[in-house]
Amino acid sequence: MTEFQAASRVNRIKPSPSSLASARARDLKAEGRDIVDLTVGEPDFDTPENIKAAGIAAIQAGDTKYTAVNGTVALRKAILAKFERSLGLTYTHEQICVGGGAKQIIFLALMASVESGAEVIIPTPYWVSYPDMVLANNGKPVIVDCTEGNGFKLTAEALEAAITPNTRWLILNSPCNPSGSVYMREELTALAAVLLKHPHVWVLADEIYNEVLFDTEADINLAIVEPQLKERLFIVNGVSKTYAMTGWRIGYGVGNARLVAAINKLQSQMSSCPSSISQAAAVEALNGDQSFIVEATSVYRARRDLAVGLLNAVPGLRCPSPNGAFYVFPNCAGVLGRMTPDGKRIESDLDFILYMLESVGVAALHGSAYGMPGYFRLSIATSEETIREGCRRIAAAVTGLR
């Protein structure tokens, strides 16, 4: 029998590091290990009751059939209303696509637009899936280093230097996973000035965390600071992070009608449509009581302050305070080169997180997976008790180094 041979696109990419880390933590727990899992990027809150009720009502009403590829009319109206209400941006139904999570929408956008030789600019630190999504679609990731000194954000100068005639997209994630950085108006204005000089470059704005903001009052994006970019801006969002609906799998994209039509064509051949029940729940999430967002963000802010304070008290670690999302991204350069109790040298951030996992049972993600060596990511989408215990164990692990 001829052995299976994976297509080249599969061999170009690697499994998601965050998914692997979470799976490893679950396996160790199943083996009886006492593990503090700080890898999971999903809210620990339950989906709000009004949203769950809407899903149940859809089942009871028999709303369990196929929907339009780009979602139900009710959901598209809710999305349009959200953009006008929160951002002051108006779109049409032809400019909306709805899929099984924001992750699917991003992949489909790249599939619809990227071919061999196309370049996609990805600032560091980046969400782990961006480069592999580009590679899977025959594109070339162009990684641009963004330092902690610049707030982990892309500067106009760095963007200008990265653009070539082959540049197809800039991916801009704000608030950022993993750093929690949020682009301010003046920073977006500077980036917009560069983009106006290069009309062949489009922007994929991943705004999945845009409601989880700590130190800025308003959510803004490139279409607000520079309306001329609106037709080149594809905004991706969803209900997973904001409304604690990760398992419901509803994401959406809004932007240029021709791009959206291409995405919808691909989805028609891939999955037909998202879950009808999840769409009904998403309508209630977007249209219903929004107090959950305020309450959850307040909790995340307190958890952020707790984690940052505890980590900055550990000699050898330095933890910037994020402005959004629900992660902290400490610098561990101060522990590199030191020796573990059993005589192994900590040469990298990966060595450090593996040492923490084995020695004190803390599961984290290494910064190199996000294009940022010398850092590691911790999720604060968990209880204060878990954060305290995790940071206590991290401090013990660092103290044990020689």
Report the percentage of the chain scoring pLDDT > 90: 90
**Mean local confidence (pLDDT), 45-66:** 98
- Whether 2 has a pLDDT exceeding 90, the answer reads no
pLDDT at site 335 = 97
pTM over 0.85: yes
pLDDT at site 18 = 65
pLDDT at site 20 = 67
**Mean local confidence (pLDDT), 110-133:** 97
Candidate CATH numbers 3.40.640.10, 3.40.50.410, 2.102.10.10, 3.40.50.150; the one for domain 63-287: 3.40.640.10
Give first-to-last CA distance, the chain, whole Å.
54
pLDDT at site 217 = 67
**Please, where in the chain does CATH 3.40.640.10 lie?**
63-287
Q: Tell me what the pLDDT averaged over the chain comes to.
A: 95
**Please, where in the chain does CATH 3.90.1150.10 lie?**
8-46+292-399
Class of domain 8-46+292-399 as given by CATH: alpha beta
